[in-house]
Amino acid sequence: AQSVAQPEDQVNVAEGNPLTVKCTYSVSGNPYLFWYVQYPNRGLQFLLKYITGDNLVKGSYGFEAEFNKSQTSFHLKKPSALVSDSALYFCAVRVTGGGNKLTFGTGTQLKVEL
């Protein structure tokens, strides 16, 4: 079975500071990893994905994520946070050859303050 853990329910950062949203995963095969963002009363918007190759993945709106196989982590980062980044962030995993469903974490609420 595959699973995703997002250990922080909420992350608070000041605008202009770097942000990190943590994600760890557990799978029995090779993982495909994803980050999605959800604004209030909206669906999920795709931010970035790791399939293979370079461990540092760049995505939308200046976000990036680093795949670390030894630590089974895929943390989301941004060098300089904006108030408009405040939203709910979900990490998800899909296993190659193991079906096509995404398994999501419980989400991390990011709050960026002035």
Partner 1 sequence: DTGVSQDPRHKITKRGQNVTFRCDPISEHNRLYWYRQTLGQGPEFLTYFQNEAQLEKSRLLSDRFSAERPKGSFSTLEIQRTEQGDSAMYLCASSSWIATMNTEAFFGQGTRLTVV
Among residues 15, 20, 44, 75, the one that binds partner 1 under rule CB under 8 A: 44
- Token look-up 């370079």 returns 54
Question: Residue 36 or residue 81: which is nearer to partner 1 going by CB?
Answer: 36
Contact call for residue 43 and partner 1 (CB under 8 A): yes
Contact call for residue 90 and partner 1 (CB under 8 A): yes
Contact call for residue 75 and partner 1 (CB under 8 A): no
Structural contact between residues 93 and 4, judged by C-beta atoms closer than 8 angstroms:
yes
Contact call for residue 18 and partner 1 (CB under 8 A): no
How far is Cα 97 from Cα 14, in angstroms, rounded to an integer?
41
Beta bridge partners of 67: 74
